[in-house]
Amino acid sequence: MEQVFKKPEALCDVNLHYCPGCTHGIVHRLVAEVLDELEIEGKAIGVAPVGCSVFAYDYWKCDMQQAAHGRAPAVATGIKRVLPDKVVFTYQGDGDLASIGTAETVHAAMRGENITIIFINNAIYGMTGGQMAPTTLPGQVTQTSPYGRDPKTQGYPIRMSEMLSKTDGAAYIERVSVDCVKNVVAAKKAIKKAFQTQLDGKGFSMVEVLSTCPTNWGKSPVEALEWLRENMIPYYPLGVYTDKTGE
């Protein structure tokens, strides 16, 4: 018998700290699989954010640097400008990328910075215990939207992929989900394409991954996947938002 599925080489052999059923783990594995398949672990430098994935530096075997909350695209820019032949990626949550780091994200895209961003959107602040995120859905109850997010007073959820797709510098932007096997397979394909975009020197690439937070959503991991499917995907439609890689 041949082994057809195993832990990817680029993923460290450690226990991930995430809550049971948190889909961060799936995305970590997908990134590692892509590092393996493109054979770029040795030339990759990852930027770990502040947020639930703050320990990401312990999980991939490539070199890793920390960033302050929201600043990962700026830190990645600094690294990439020093090492233009290396592969530089960030792994950021929604608070990090779409709230405190919006400026860094938008301008990295505008510059066509040749980096790859893996953006985890789970519609809530996980690390700090379930507060309203920039991507929290209308009506969604969180610690800081206890009566449900009311766009009239708390603003609308931000659709980063749509927004960034309008920037001239963005070469490839796709929104994917990890709620089911089919979507996980598609997510990996997107992540691989994003890294390939960088390897080809085509500019800014980002994959937005709709992800779950069972603990702060107050749902079992299986219920969380269903909630994602029924609530998040309608608001955040999956698909390719820009693809200039063929140009």
Provide the binding-site residues for another protein, judged by CB under 8 A: 1-7, 11, 15-16, 18-26, 29, 41-45, 47-48, 54-55, 57-58, 60-68, 71, 74-83, 86-87, 103-104, 106-107, 180-181, 184-185, 214, 221-222, 225
- Which residues are CB-neighbours of 74 under 8 A, at least 6 positions away? 67, 104, 108
Residue whose CB is less far from another protein, 145 or 205: 205
> To the nearest whole angstrom, how small is the minimum distance from the Cβ of residue 23 to another protein?
6
- Which residues are CB-neighbours of 128 under 8 A, at least 6 positions away? none
Residue whose CB is less far from another protein, 42 or 139: 42
Residue whose CB is less far from another protein, 12 or 243: 12
Task: Please provide residue 208's backbone torsions phi and psi, each rounded to the nearest 5 degrees.
Answer: -90, 125
CA-to-CA distance for 196 and 203, rounded, in angstroms? 10
> To the nearest whole angstrom, how small is the minimum distance from the Cβ of residue 20 to another protein?
4
CA-to-CA distance for 161 and 210, rounded, in angstroms? 11
Integer Rg of the chain from CA: 17
CA-to-CA distance for 104 and 26, rounded, in angstroms? 26
Sign of CA dihedral 110, 113, 116, 120: negative
Here the tokens at position 68 are 């302050």
Residue whose CB is less far from another protein, 179 or 208: 179
> To the nearest whole angstrom, how small is the minimum distance from the Cβ of residue 149 to another protein?
27
CA-to-CA distance for 207 and 120, rounded, in angstroms? 8
Residue whose CB is less far from another protein, 9 or 150: 9
Residue whose CB is less far from another protein, 98 or 149: 98
Residue whose CB is less far from another protein, 145 or 177: 177
Task: Supply the DSSP string of 123-176, one letter for each residue.
Answer: SSBTTTTSBPPTTPPTT--BTTBTT---HHHH-PPP-HHHHHHTSTTEEEEEEE
> To the nearest whole angstrom, how small is the minimum distance from the Cβ of residue 193 to another protein?
18
> To the nearest whole angstrom, how small is the minimum distance from the Cβ of residue 136 to another protein?
22
Count of all residues that appear for the chain in the document: 247
